[in-house]
Amino acid sequence: MAIKNLSGMHHDRYKWIALTNTTLGVFMATVNSSIILISLPAIFRGVGINPLSPGNVGYLLWLLQGYLLVTAVLVISLGRLGDIVGRVRIYNLGFAVFSFASVALALDPYQGGSGALWLVLWRLVQGVGGAMLFANSSAILVDAFPPDQRGLAMGINQVAAIGGSFIGLIAGGLLSIGDWRLVFWVSVPFGVLGTVWGYHSLRDNGQRADARIDWWGNLTFAVGLTSLLVAIVYGIQPYGTHSMGWTAPKVLAFFAVGIAFLAAFFVIEIRTESPMFNLRLFKIRAFATGSAAGLLGAISRGGLQFMLIIWLQGIWLPLHGYAYSATPLWAGIYLVPLTLGFLIAGPVSGYLSDRHGARILSTSGMIIFGASFLGLLLVPTDFSYWIFAVMVLLNGVGGGMFSAPNSTAIMNSVPPDQRGGAAGIQAAFMNTGFVLSIGIFFSLMIVGLTNSLPAAMFKGLSTNGVSVAEAQLVASLPAVGSLFSSFLGVNPLASLLGSPSAAHVTRAQWQTLTGKHFFPNLIQAPFHHGLVIVFTTAIILSAIGAAASALRGKRYIHEDHSMREHVGDLTMTVGGVPGEIALESDVVR
């Protein structure tokens, strides 16, 4: 009995070690996915280039999306690899790769385009490490915790993942004030700690899959998804006289290659004996509906940060007297209610889902999440902060109520030897959803701005002394430039107009045009027009996600289900009495 109790104590201690280490891993990975959003102005100043110049927009977009793209492409492969060779082994390697890439980013030795390219390439490497962490952390947790405690564990882990993406906004604002390199250095001590600690304390106690690596599946999936996501990145950029590049031959070619390779991938996965992407998992109702709801939630949530940052940095903060140089930090601070809502709701909802299942909590959370978008639509562009704070708090609460129970239900529904692959699929859906969201939200916003910004720009410039010809030229420029300017917290008119003499305006008029209030006042009505389109789309996606969540059925735990089937078969063999089957099933339940 003493030996049994000692073993139980050891197991109980290990699960908390696993939770702490994996929480540190996903927190570090997601902080780095968002810390750069706020830090971009300081980073580009540090390497000495203007990100809004036509030739440099690619650096801006790849720094924003390269990390997410690599993570989305690799998580399924690395999760399935964890099923085969060991989840802890891949997870620990992820910590090491992430830490090494962080050091390389902080030590960028170049300036100009070379310096920006160095950052882009090492962010891609950092994404490889992040994919290793994302792909296996959930599976390690599910292996370590019993079914009746997984919701709480996943809730804490999910809060670290989603909460980290919000905390990164504040951290980026604070660190970039001192030195842009601190944005990358901050990950290094955590990465080293996690690497050493993981190698000494984590162990592979899950079931291994006796399978070969699906090389053709990995190859076709990587090429196909990469092509689609690259097409989205370039589709946002201007092309010729068009405000976006969706009709550019390069973009169309990437889409064609992506669709062809993904079609080949699904054919391969159906026929291979040990698929990387186990399509059979989607026959499990809880897995299929939860995955669909998670993808829709990721698409709805992914672009939200960008829209709120543009709203705060480009419009609200300058209108309320904040200097453009201070807007990144204050944008992160004013988004604290969003983080707070998620931090409160995530663990509580995960704990409750262990007792009551995920359907009610996740569905209600998605409904609250969608309703918060409706509330934000009703908030004026130049709002009273407390109204905005309540709406983003509700958004965080809804996201927290949905994420932890949904993730727990998905992971509970799959066989133990498929957990790495299942976790990889969920991480792929989340990161792909974020990349899709950026493409969708930015495109919809640009459509809204293209319809309303030129007239507002022409009227504002010509009213303040700019010649008709010059005002028409600036107003006809692609709206994406103004959108990125707002995202970076920059008034673009100084660079667009050149100088007071070039714009043929007086010094007083020039100060008005390039001051804190003119551009935010100019863009706020067109921005709200675009915001209506963007948030309406998010509301629709959230409603569909809530419907998918509601269709998940009753609580389903694969181990319990398998045990009932085993006990049922056993009692049929031994006793052959139907009443005994029901009795035994009730006992197992």
pLDDT in tens, 33-56: 778 877 888 888 888 887 777 667
Residue 406, both tokens: 């949904």
Task: Give the three-state DSSP class for 499.
Answer: coil
**What local confidence, expressed as pLDDT, does residue 386 receive?**
94
User: Do 17 and 54 reside in the same domain of the chain?
Assistant: yes
Q: Is the dihedral of CA 560, 565, 566, 572 positive or negative?
A: positive
Confirm if 51 and 484 have CB atoms less than 8 A apart: yes
Label residue 371 exposed, middle or buried (CB < 10 Å: 0-12, 13-18, 19+).
middle
User: Do 125 and 170 reside in the same domain of the chain?
Assistant: yes
The total of structural domains in the chain comes to 4
Alpha helices in 179-284 (DSSP H): 182-185, 187-201, 215-236, 249-271
User: Do 107 and 139 reside in the same domain of the chain?
Assistant: yes
Residue 427, both tokens: 């991480």
Closest CA to 37 of 303, 432, 389: 303
Final residue in a domain of this structure, among 242, 257, 273: 273
**What local confidence, expressed as pLDDT, does residue 281 receive?**
83
User: Do 148 and 235 reside in the same domain of the chain?
Assistant: no
Number of H helices, E strands in the chain: 25, 0
Amino acid at the residue 96 = A
**What local confidence, expressed as pLDDT, does residue 323 receive?**
81
User: Do 439 and 463 reside in the same domain of the chain?
Assistant: no
CATH of the domain at 426: 1.20.1250.20
Amino acid at the residue 166 = F
Final residue in a domain of this structure, among 523, 540, 566: 523
User: Do 221 and 325 reside in the same domain of the chain?
Assistant: no
Domain that holds residue 224: 214-273
The pTM of this model reads 0.77
User: Do 292 and 282 reside in the same domain of the chain?
Assistant: yes
User: Do 155 and 268 reside in the same domain of the chain?
Assistant: no
**What local confidence, expressed as pLDDT, does residue 7 receive?**
44
User: Do 121 and 50 reside in the same domain of the chain?
Assistant: yes
User: Do 190 and 218 reside in the same domain of the chain?
Assistant: no
User: Do 507 and 545 reside in the same domain of the chain?
Assistant: no
Secondary structure of 119-152 in HEC code, one letter for each residue: HHHHHHHHHHHHHHHHHHHHHHHHHHCCHHHHHH
Confirm if 66 and 409 have CB atoms less than 8 A apart: no
Instruction: List, for the chain, all residue ranges whose pLDDT scores fall below the cut of 50.
Output: 1-10, 563, 565-589
**What local confidence, expressed as pLDDT, does residue 579 receive?**
35
Closest CA to 161 of 298, 60, 304: 298
- Tell me the C-alpha distance between 325 and 332, whole Å: 13
- Tell me the C-alpha distance between 484 and 480, whole Å: 6
pLDDT digits (tens, 9 = 90+) for 422-470: 777 777 788 778 778 877 888 888 888 888 888 888 888 888 888 888 8
Residue 31, both tokens: 């902080």
- Tell me the C-alpha distance between 167 and 335, whole Å: 9
User: Do 98 and 122 reside in the same domain of the chain?
Assistant: yes
